[in-house]
Amino acid sequence: MAQTEKKAGLLRKSSASKKPLKEKVVLMYDEIFMTEDPSKCNPRFWEELFLMKVNLEYLEGKLEALDGEELMKIKDNINCLFQHCIQALGEEHPIRVVNALQVP
């Protein structure tokens, strides 16, 4: 079996017969970087996101890779991310508060 790898959100290196596994938080970040609202299919999307440990390296890499046009396409989702970060800061759940602080 392939070695476990934590770099860039991968949990396992790819092998000939298996796809690389990604952390759930990385999959959720990928949904934010699509043009559709991620909470449209999952109403608890934002609540679940802030319960997971932040993968800042992956998130920063995704943001840095965007050009101006791509950023404008997902502007609403990025604004939602920061809006929900602010809302999570007011919650009593300490994990959500800590994770929300790490995103911006």
Distance CA 43, CA 22 (A): 22
Whole-number pLDDT of residue 20: 74
Distance CA 63, CA 74 (A): 11
**Mean pLDDT for the stretch of residues 1-8:** 48
Q: pTM, whole model, 2 decimals?
A: 0.76
Q: Note the pLDDT tens digit of each residue in 84-104.
A: 999 999 989 899 999 999 987
**Mean pLDDT for the stretch of residues 38-43:** 90
- Report which of residues 14 and 69 the model is more confident about: 69
Mean pLDDT, the chain, whole residue set: 84
- Residues in CB range of 102: below 8 A, 6 or more apart: 54, 56
Please report, for residues 16, 40, 55, 92, the alpha-carbon distance to residue 58 in angstroms, rounded to integers and kept in the order given.
Answer: 24, 23, 6, 27
Domain ranges of the chain: 24-102
